[in-house]
A and B are shown apart, each in its own frame.
Chain A
Amino acid sequence: MTQAPTPYRIKASWMEACNCDSGCHCNFGGFPDHGSCEALVGLHISDGNIGDVDLSGVKAVLAIKWPKAIHEGNGNAAVFIDESATEQQINGLATILTGQAGGMPWEILATTITALDGPILKPIKMNVNGTSSTFSIDGILEAKLTPCKNPVTGEDNEVHIVFPKGGFIWSDGNSSTTSVMKVDHGTVKFDHAGQSGIFAPVVWTNQK
């Protein structure tokens, strides 16, 4: 097939929670703190489209387990999309997240996934609020980000990891921790409250 992929451009809020210590060591050389990478990601598209399909307002959640570092592959992923999305929106977002439409980071991330369940349509609750963001799907998963705290004074610390020339997934990650972080969906099952959380704006496209 030589047909050019449908052009897309999306702006979204990325809310990640994983099993690494706060800061997430994968940002600094690629290898997780505790051997494996187990992550929940909430995605709220504030503005975007793929071809003629408007993706604004679409919500999705990814739950993924990689047995080692992400770039070493063999990921086991479940992709949830909010059931309010139209069939065209579901197909469009699935095309992006599975790497079929090209563009970073998905054309790379998709190659690290060997088992994919989804897209699964569920009601997704999501509150986009920086390092206090939350998302959940009743009976399946829940994540609550909470700001880093100064261990002495207890005050919030705002700590950004910035890739000045552009990062792989995001370029300015507001680092946090989590008060809740769990999923129970078939073989994707973990619970890592108190570890790393990151809130970041993302802009993804397969166009120049």
Chain B
Amino acid sequence: MAAKNDITWQLKGIIIGACNCDWGCPCNFDAPPTYGNCNGAYIWQIQKGQFGDVNLDGFGMGWIGESPGAMYLGHSTTQLIIDQRADEARRVALLDLLSGSFGGPFEILASITETWLETIFAPLNMVIDGLNSRVDIPGILELGLTSIKNPVTGEPEELTLVKGTGFISNNTEMGATAVYRYTGGFQHEHSGKYGEFAEFEYRSYR
């Protein structure tokens, strides 16, 4: 396999995240997860993407994981999801990226993974609309974002996490999930818990 410095790549797009933590997700603040463990999903929609000479514009991918403690403590089990519209070259490129061997945040996510479940190739049906975004993978994932509501007035709260050192995203709209249900290699039912929406931009080390 090629080493991580052998291929130049860059990705830009939208990321949608959901987990089992309460709203705000204490992991954002280097505190332990609300319920001790982390069950979560990251779904990326690549708007502009290039991996070597493979163009990735418009393709999606997902990282679904379970960690027994805080994510950084490792021992995670991970299942990858690859947009089934991707042809063979794109599948290889997306899997190379997600393997962590080519750097970026994927290197960190891979480093905490102890067990890899079988990768799923499926259609990612995405509606990109801030905290009203949705991802549907028929029979596998329902993920719909919504806003946090003010406990007194019931009005939607607009809340942004600005974290220059964040490795997944740096400017993140913090919300909740209207639905987060995963029935792939894990069973996640965490609707109503933490959800987030952000733009991302990652690139290779060179």
Instruction: Tell whether A29 is near chain B: CB-to-CB under 8 Å.
Output: yes
Measured CB to CB, the closest approach of chain A to B159, in angstroms, equals 6
Complex Cα gap A107–B130 (Å):
33
Query: How many A-B Cβ pairs are below 8 Å?
Result: 93
A29-B148, A151-B72 as given contacts; A23 in contact with B160, CB under 8 Å: no
Instruction: Return the chain B residue nearest A176 by Cβ.
Output: B29
* Contact, CB under 8 Å: A164 / B32: no
* Contact, CB under 8 Å: A162 / B162: yes
* Contact, CB under 8 Å: A148 / B24: no
Instruction: Tell whether B163 is near chain A: CB-to-CB under 8 Å.
Output: yes
Instruction: Tell whether B14 is near chain A: CB-to-CB under 8 Å.
Output: no
Instruction: Tell whether A11 is near chain B: CB-to-CB under 8 Å.
Output: no
8 Å CB contact of B23 from A25, A71, A152: A25
8 Å CB contact of B161 from A22, A155, A162, A165: A162
Instruction: Tell whether A88 is near chain B: CB-to-CB under 8 Å.
Output: no
* Contact, CB under 8 Å: B22 / A71: no
User: Do most interface residues of chain B lie in helix, strand or loop, or is the interface mixed?
Assistant: loop
Complex Cα gap A31–B148 (Å):
12
Instruction: Return the chain B residue nearest A160 by Cβ.
Output: B162
> In the assembled complex, which residues on chain B have CB atoms less than 8 Å from the CB atom of A33?
22, 26, 34
Instruction: Name 25 interchain pairs, CB-CB below 8 A, sorted by A.
Output: A21-B29, A21-B31, A23-B24, A23-B25, A23-B28, A25-B23, A27-B159, A28-B148, A28-B159, A28-B174, A29-B24, A29-B151, A33-B22, A33-B26, A71-B152, A151-B70, A155-B165, A158-B164, A159-B28, A159-B29, A159-B162, A159-B165, A162-B162, A164-B158, A196-B31
Q: Which 8 pairs from chain A and chain B are nearest by CB?
A: A28-B24, A30-B151, A23-B29, A28-B23, A22-B29, A160-B162, A21-B31, A22-B31
Q: Which residues of B contact A (CB under 8 A)?
A: 22-26, 28-32, 34, 70, 72, 148-152, 157-165, 174, 176
